[in-house]
Amino acid sequence: MVILSDRVMTRQDALRVRGALVRLVTELPLEPEARAALIAGVARELRRIVAAGGGSIRVRIEDADEPPSITAGESAEAAAPDDDLVLEPLLDVVREQRDALAWHQTELAQTNVGLLALHAELEAQRGQLAFLDEVNRATSASLDGDRILVGLSELLIERGVATSVSAWVMGDDGRLRLGVGAVDPRDRPAGAATTALRNRDVVGEGTLRLFVPLTIGRVPLGVLELAREREPFTAEDTELAKHVAARVAVTLRNAWEYEQERDLAEALQQALLPRLPASDGLALAAHYRPATQGANVGGDWYDAFRRSEDRLVMAVGDVTGHGIEATVLMGQLQNALRAYVMEGHDPATTLALLDRMLSTQAQGLFATAVVAELDIPSRRLRWAGAGHLPPALRRSEGTVTFLDQPQAAMLGLPVEFAPVQHETELPAGSTLLLFTDGLVERRDSDIDAGLDRLARALGALGDGDVTTTAERLVDEMVNTRRHEDDVCVLLCRHTETPPGTASANGQGSRAARADPAEPTRP
């Protein structure tokens, strides 16, 4: 469309046309730069027309996005507006600034895109680290290999890493066997799992089943099999699975090494536990139950042997610590105890010699113990303790008391060791119980509450078979499948009951004490 058409002969005509143009362009939908360019172009043409002596000018705009068309005819005369001399340089500067601004805007947009991508990557890495921390906590809460794998499987499914998880572990025969998982090894060969373990690399990226080797160095431990129903495993999934496998492999190795040490310690401990002697008029029974949590094999031990035809020596002890080291020290204490007793030492002197021996050991372990010697014909009992829980005495009518006279400190402590020996008589038909702290200690109650429970349980068990009594007593006191400490009990029952004395079950109480005898020192 034509917005301006006029005849220009003089400078005044040019000024008039320029003024009309300025008024017109302010109403047009043009950018400021386009307006300035139009005014500058018209001013240049007006100056040329006036310089040529006069002529006509026409300004046409076809499209707001296209530059305007300026046509001019020529005549003859002088001087016209010189706006273009000012606007043209300014327009050049504006164009340069516009181009510079456009470049910076492009750079800013690209930077923002990069920052968003970096932020997304950092968030992904933060999420991955948080997940791997969950893996560490889930797999380090147990020293049982199967429980570790079950906990890992549940976590991977819960977090959406896989819809099902199976763990193949290396068997003693060098072949993979199914550790945990829903698949049936009889229904599918573990070919991909074997390949992953042999090549020590992930198999299955881009598919719905991923096999991740569990290795430490060049030692193969097993394979994790992750499965999905829809989305194939990506390269990012593969990297995450490798990190998970690296952490789980270390935990599994530690668990399996612990299991091997535990099995060895259990075998050693069972070999060290003695066979109880037979004696007319006495019934002996012992029961040992290892802990089910933590380091299972501890240093609880018992012993019973004949010092002479009429003398029976009984002992129960507890070495601090767990594992092979505690088991070895337990055996040393048992052997030393027998040697000292057979040399003719009484219970208090025997404990003093054990303390001296333990003080020379380099392991830094300590022990508690109680040693009792029974003169069978007279039923006189001499006993002494070193930091141990008091023996319990159940009379035939069912009342239970604790022989809680003073004891010396634990064996091996760097303090003065002052054993005190006590003496009492075992009533006819009574039962003497020596035990370790695992029988009565609980996290949620104090030791006195545990001893009260023991008195009630022992009093209610009656005078049945001592082996059954020992087992039932432990079952009653350790009434959960999982317990944190070893339990060891040794029962000695006097079976000769005087005429007219009936056995009865009664309710025990710590309030009823054994008749105290004057303590004697060795």
Instruction: Provide CB contacts within 8 A for 8, sequence distance 6+.
Output: 14, 17, 46, 49, 50, 54, 55, 56, 57, 80
Higher pLDDT, 180 or 293: 180
- In this structure, is residue 390 part of a structural domain? yes
Residues 351 and 212 in one domain: no
- In this structure, is residue 503 part of a structural domain? no
Q: Name all contacts of 127-133 with Cβ < 8 Å and 24+ positions apart.
A: 128/240, 128/243, 131/159, 131/240, 132/243, 132/244, 132/247
Last residue of one domain, picked from the residues 262, 287, 313: 262
- In this structure, is residue 342 part of a structural domain? yes
Higher pLDDT, 116 or 285: 285
pLDDT tens for each residue of 261-317: 777 777 777 777 788 998 888 999 999 987 765 555 668 899 999 999 999 999 999
Q: Which domain holds residue 224?
A: 145-262
Mean pLDDT of the chain: 81
Q: What pLDDT, on the 0 to 100 scale, is given for residue 432? A: 97
pLDDT tens for each residue of 73-84: 544 344 445 555
Residues 226 and 295 in one domain: no
pTM score: 0.58
**Residue for token pair 């006509």:** 56
Looking at residue 418, the DSSP 8-state letter turns out to be: -
In angstroms, the CA 227 to CA 379 distance is 71
User: Which of 117-131, 265-279, 371-385, 392-406 is least confident?
Assistant: 117-131
- In this structure, is residue 294 part of a structural domain? yes
- In this structure, is residue 380 part of a structural domain? yes
In angstroms, the CA 496 to CA 380 distance is 15
Is residue 518 very low, low, confident or very high in pLDDT (cuts 50, 70, 90)? Answer: very low
Counting the structural domains of the chain, the total is: 3
- In this structure, is residue 71 part of a structural domain? yes
- Report for 249-253, 321-325, 508-512, 515-519: range of highest mean pLDDT: 249-253
Q: What pLDDT, on the 0 to 100 scale, is given for residue 514? A: 31
Which CATH number characterizes residue 234's domain?
Answer: 3.30.450.40
Residues 285 and 231 in one domain: no
